[in-house]
Structure formats: structure tokens, C-alpha cells
Amino acid sequence: MLALLVLPLALAVSAPGLASPTSGSAVVPDRSSTGEQNGVGLMRIVVADKSGIDRLNELGVDLAEYVKPVDNGIEVHAILSPEESQALRDKGFDVQDAISDQSDYADNMAERSASIRAATAATASTDTLTVLRSEWFSSLNNQLFLNIEVKSSAGTDSTTVLTASWDSGPGTEIGSGGTATMSRFTDAGQYMYHRFSNPVAINAAPAKATITSNKGGSVTVDVAKWLGSPRKVAGDHPYVSDFVDHYMDPTEVTARFTGLAAEFPKLTELIDLPYKTNGYRRKAQAQFGTAAASIVYVTSTAYGSEGGNDVSMSLVNPGTANAPLTVSMSGKAVTVSLATNGSGAITSTAAQVVAAVNGNADAAKLLTASTYRGNAGTGVVAAAPVTNLTDNLKAPASVSREPFQMKALRIGKHRDGSKVGVFLYCQEHAREWVTPLVCVESAERLLRNYAHDPNTRKIVDDLDIFILPVVNPDGAHYSMYDYNMQRKNMTNYCSASLADPAARNAWGVDINRNFSVGSVFDGFTGASATNCTGETFAGPSELSEPEARNEVWLVDKFPNIKLSMNTHSYGGYFMWPPGAYKAAGREVLPRVDQGTEAYFWTSSDYILSRVQEYRGTAIWPGRTGPVTDVLYSAAGNSADEHWYNRGIIGWDFEVGADVYNPTTKRFTAVGFQPSFAEGHEEAMEFANGNIAILEVARAYATDKIQPQTTLKIVKQEPGATAFTFSISEPANVYYTLDGSRPTYNSPKLALAGMREGVQNIAVNSDTTVNWFSIDIAGNVESNYKPDGAGRNYNKQAVAVQ
Ligand SMILES: [Zn+2]
């Protein structure tokens, strides 16, 4: 019923997206009137041009990170309720069909539950046994021996006992050949596996053995002949991958990382980031009444988990004439006895009830009452039975309601700051469920392949890798259990006029708009500083949020970090700074220089080829490049923070490239939460991308090769000659035309234009060109010292006819 009262979205207001939160003009997307997932869908919109996207942004429309040129304009995607879709259509926007809707969410959650149930059934009370070897052999006068090695997933627990039983040949019973307890083998304090201390002497060659664990695990395996016959391959290690089998919430992801740190202490350390989040928690609320003027809603002082959920309130008709409005307390129950007139009819208005409740010192300790969305509250309220306040949070109790301790996993053989650092981070936006899987998969691959894969060993030995799998844990829990399209964190900065229960899915700060470079507070576009319910709300100030501060703390604490990757979803993009512009005149943050841009393109080719290797997905050239060129302005994003404040190369992935359907011959957008089967593929291919980034970083760290350049005449006309430079690898060229020695202050070869090649330089008279080049790793051509006095730079005369 509430939905009828509330105008949909900011669309109803003409001021672009800046409706004051205190205006009470119902600008909040009302997506929770049913208390459920509210019928929102991910909708396709076609706009004529980029100004249409800017206009949607200004209206506060919740856009996906997806832009696609189509025949008649540009296709973008937005999260909209049916009412919001209609409001946009009324404004002339071409809102088309849904890419995904709530049935997809239901399917995903059912699939996830089934997967977790299966895993729990297998591991809750039982351990997993992995057979490393099982073989028999003869030796010493034809005496037969048995050798078995088995790794238990509970093996780090010293009370884990494994027992092996074997048969006495094909078709015989397990146990008929014998039974023996295995020894727990540890090396340098680390559990390796269980084995027999010595091969066990046996009387007959077994065909099968069963190993059981006192922790419940059991496995039956063939016993092969050792030496003289083909054996099961146990020593030949292929590259291992595929470590995620369901969508994971932040509690699970953090537990996984904690486990990895414990399992690989020599290669890792777990870093507790200093700023705890506000936590997956909310104040408890209840709302009384249905018409805006007579609605009263109350909010607990304590979080729901800290007593707020125990508070209740009732509005009682005293059943007598001329009764006064009173508030009384019994424990945590607040009873409002409503005023009546001479004929016994209720006369208390919403405003009067609010004043009475807030004016009662005892009640005010437990809760605060408000009228609805700034309404004057002149409507008479209706009696209502005892109503429990609730925080409405639906995650299981295993999800803590305390402030969340974010943890980054540092991986590297030498974690002393001497190696080039790379920062991989995921899930700034809560609803992008695939992204934490990319970080988990990347960490698992590095650690589990280190022992046997030379390439992994090089990466881990030569780099200092920091992986933060979930930047927005509170929002991510909320997205998984309460409102799947949640993008922001959970912290509510709205005043009472936008803090009623129906607004709760619109609260929070967009972490990737809360950083300090090119922010909305600096005048850049693509975020809101005032609309607390807008999906790109930048927070009350730059770096107001602990989630954003933790990122900044990490890159400040470890200045060896030179590259970063910020993984988002969806659309299939590879992007770099600049990521924001001022709308007026499209004043973009400074573009990277020619050498850096060339390096980014060369790196893209390598990284995206590795993404493609997994299942053939090609990230399109049109979705590769600076954020402002291929997506839209995102004021205050983290990649710009890293690049412009610290010189850290700040890359962004959008996983989830459009999938080509060979039958319809069309590309289909995948959305934020595809079926896990698709999400899994995205995690695998972009984990490939992360590994490739590490390879690129290692090449950067170990690059000792100097760039080489030649001067090239491109055009000669009477009175003017144009030239440029050929460069052996991505590098910047500094040159002079006046015969002076080139330095870092000399002119730098630029690009001819956005996404173009290098510029041509024209001279009108005979000129001596002096120049040198320097690559991104700092290698200078011919080992020239631009700051020194040497003259070993390049020089060439350019003649003019
Ligand atoms: Zn995102």
C-alpha cells in the first residue's frame, strides 16, 4: 500500500538529482514497500548519445557499469522498479526489456544453498581424503610391500588418525589383506600427509584399499603395481585451478583467506586493515499508519542486534472520552495511549505522537519517533497493536553483526618491501558477486601452484602481492541476504526525512566515489554529494568511509606497490585513468602521457590474451582504454586515487563480457549475478587476467632493457618537414629543437589525439634534433643521464627544402 503514497525516484523532481534530503519531496526510490526484493529488475535503456547517459546520472538513476553503442544510440542498463521504469518512460526515455529480474536472484540463491549443503554434508563432520600414492611392490626375495600416502583436509589437526585396509587381490573383501594405522607426517612443523612409516609387508598383491579417517572421511582407491607397470600419475603436477564452486559471502571469503594464510605461512601474511567497517547491522524500526500525513515511524537507539530488536511499541485507543495523549513504559515496551475527544474518537496527530514519544525521557532512551519523509504529520493516527521493532536483516546468525575486520592477504617469498608490489582488490560494489571469486581464485592459484609451477614461482618470488577480496563486506552481505541490487555500503547518512524503513535499500555510500581525486567535492561528475539515497552517493566527504580509508592505508603503508587492479562487474572492460571529468567542457583529469598510454595498450594486449585463453572471450577494443573514454565519468574512484596521488598504475576490470549466442547471432549482457555456471567462467577467465597482470608486473620489475628510438621523416614539403620517432617499446621521448641538451624538462613526444598514434613534429628550417627515450621501468636509452652532463643522447639533422 505504501508504494501508492510515494512518488517513484528522483525522476519526479526537475532539479537534476540534487533534491535535498530534507525537502520531504519523496525522492527516494521506494523499493522495499513489500519488505522483499521489491520487484526491481536490471533494465535495458537506449539513449541517443552520451548526454543521455549524463542526464540519467544526474537524475540519480542507478546505472550499471555498461555502455554499448547500438544502431540508434547507446544502450545502458539500470536497476529500476516497475514504477521507476514507468517514470523514465514518462520522461521520454526508451526503457526496454529486463536483462535480469528477481527470479534470477531466487534461482541463484537456491543454487548456492544446494552447493553449500552438499559441501557441508561432505565436510562438516568429515574430512576430505586425497590419495597421493597407493601401490604395492616386491623386493627382498619377492616379499610384497604396500605403500599408501593420503592427505587429510583435517591433517593439520594432530588428532586426525587414518587407517588403511586392503584386499588380498581382485574380487576379495577389503580388509582381507590387512589393516594398518598410518602415521601423520609433518615437515618443519607443517602437516604434509599421512603415510606408513615403512612400507607394510603383505602376503598378496592387493587390488583395492580403503582409507578411513577418525574425522569421518573415507576413500577407496585402486592399488597399482610400483615399478614394472604403468602407475597412477601422482608426481606429475599440472597447473591447478578452479577453487570456487559457489557464490561466496564476505564471511566465507575472509575465512578462506585466513585458512590460506595458515596453510602457507612461508609465503603469506594476513594483514588486518586498521579501519573496521560500520558492520552488517541496522537500527530496528517500525512504522505505523498508511497515509503520509498520519504515518509515524520509530527507530531504535541501539542496533537491532544490540537490543533494538527487543523494543516494541503500540498505539492504544484508551476507549474513553477526553483522554490525554500519554506515553508509558514497561521494560522495552512503549505504549502510547492516544488522545480522544468528547465522543471518544482518537484525535492525536502523527506530529503530536512523535512529540510525545520523543518527549518521554525513558522512551527516548530506546527509540526516536519521526513523521513520514518530512511530512508535517497533521493526520490523525490509528490505533495499532504491539509491534516489535526489527532491523529487517535476514542473513543467518553466522554472519556477524559486529563491525567487520577487513583482511588483505600478502603473498610473496620476500615480503620486506624490496619487491615491486601489486594490489589486487575486488567487490567495491556489493552486488557484483563474481568479483570476490576472481580474487579468491587468484590467491589460490598462486599458493597451490608455487611448489611445482616455475612461472608461479617466479611471480611469487619476484613480487609482493596484496589481495583484498572484498572491499565492501557489509554491503556484500546485504546484497546476498537482503537486497540483491545493493551497490553501496550500509551506512545511513540520511536524515529522518529519508530514514523510514521503506528507504533502507537506498542508504549507503558508493565506495568507488568516496576517494579524494577528481571527486564530486572537486566538481567532477558521476557522483552525488547531497543525495544520500542516490546510488552514486559519495558520502559526506572524501574518504569518509572506512572501506575507502583501508585501501588508501594499504597503498600508503606499502609504497613498493606500483600497480593495482580494481575488479568490477559487468560488461567486459579493461580500463585505466583518467576516470572522471567535469561536465562543463568535459574537462578530463590529466591524461597519461604517450609512453604510459603505449605501455597500457601493450599490457592490455598481453593481459586480455590471457583472459581470452580460458574460453575464447575477447574483451573488445572499444571497451579497452581510459574510463572516461569507454565508460563514463566516475568522480572519486579508487584507480584515479592510486594513480594521481601516488603514481600507482590503476587498472580496472569489468568482468562479465557479453556472451555471444551463435543461434541468435547476438551478444547478450550477463548482468551482475548470472547463474553460477556463468559466474564461475567469468571468475576463471579474469583470474587468468590477474595472473597475467602479475606477469606484466614482474616484467616491469625485472626490466633492464633500454628502449631504442630512431627519427623518422614523415613528410617533406617546400618550407616544412615533419618527423616523428619510432620506438622499440613503450617509452617517452624527450627532445629539443634548439641544439640544447635534452632533459626531463624538454618537450615530450605526445599522442596525436585520443586513441591515436604519436604526433608528428614540424619544423620550418634546418634543425638539429636532440633526444633520448625512457621506458616505464626507468631504463634510459644508451644509459644517458638527463640530469647529468653527458652528451650521449641521440642527435640528427632534419633538413627543410
Ligand atoms: Zn562496480
Alpha-carbon gap, residue 514 to 536, rounded angstroms: 9
What's the pLDDT score for residue 145? Answer: 81
Cα(631) to ligand 1 centroid in Å equals 12
Question: Residue 429 C-alpha to ligand 1 middle, in angstroms?
Answer: 5
Amino acid at 199: P
Rounded to two decimals, the pTM is 0.81
CA of 568 to the centre of ligand 1 (A): 4
Between the CA of 613 and the centroid of ligand 1 the distance, in Å, is 24
Distance CA 795, CA 735 (A): 9
Q: Across the strands, what pairs with 407?
A: 272
CB atoms within 10 A of CB 773: 28
Q: Which cell numbers in the block locate residue 727? A: 620506438
| Distance from Cα 673 to the centre of ligand 1, integer Å | 12
Query: Which three three-digit cell numbers place residue 511?
Result: 565506495
Q: Which helix (H) or strand (E) holds 452?
A: none
Q: How close is the Cα of 242 to the center of ligand 1, in Å? A: 24
Q: What residues are paired with 655 via a beta bridge? A: 569
C-alpha 751 to ligand 1 mean position (Å): 30
Residue of 774, 732, 668 whose CA lies nearest to 44: 668
Q: Which H or E element spans position 6? A: none
Q: Confirm if 550 and 406 have CB atoms less than 8 A apart.
A: yes
Rounded Cα distance between 579 and 639, Å, is 8
**Is 515 strand, coil or helix?**
coil
**C-alpha triplet 91, 92, 93: angle, nearest 5°:** 100
CA of 38 relative to ligand 1 center, distance in Å: 21
Grid cell in block for residue 342? 468528547
Give whole-number Cα distances, 466 to 407, 453, 507, 754, in Å.
10, 20, 30, 32
Q: Is residue 280 within 8 Å of 404, Cβ to Cβ?
A: yes
How far apart, in whole angstroms, are the C-alpha atoms of residue 338 and residue 306? 29
Q: Cα of 64 to ligand 1 centre, how many Å?
A: 8
* CA dist., res. 594 & res. 611, Å (int): 25
The set of cell numbers assigned to 2 is: 505504501
- 654 C-alpha to ligand 1 centroid (Å): 8
Instruction: Kindly provide the b/e burial profile for residues 745-761, where b requires at least 16 CB atoms within 10 angstroms of the residue's own CB.
Output: ebeebbbeeeeeebeeb
569: CA distance to ligand 1 center in Å? 6
Residue 676 CA to ligand 1 center (angstroms) comes to 19
From the CA of 484, how far away is ligand 1's center (Å)?
14
Alpha carbon of 563 to ligand 1 centroid (Å) = 19
Distance 488 CA to ligand 1 centre (A): 10
Cα–ligand 1 centroid distance for 526 (angstroms): 13
Residue found under cell 498520519: 294
The rounded Å distance from CA 197 to ligand 1 centre is: 53
Distance 426 CA to ligand 1 centre (A): 9
Weakly modelled stretches of the chain, pLDDT under 70: 1-38, 120-125, 139-142, 187-189, 226-237
Q: Is 171 left (phi over 0), alpha (psi -120 to 50) or beta?
A: left
The CA radius of gyration of the chain, in Å to the nearest whole number, is 32
| pLDDT score at 660 | 82
**238 C-alpha to center of ligand 1: Å?**
34
Residues 298, 286 contacting (CB under 8 angstroms): yes
CA of 48 to the centre of ligand 1 (A): 24
C-alpha cell at 65: 557499469
Ligand 1 mean position to 552 CA, how many Å? 18
Question: Cα 281 to chain center, whole Å?
Answer: 20
| Cα separation, 419 vs 163, whole angstroms | 45
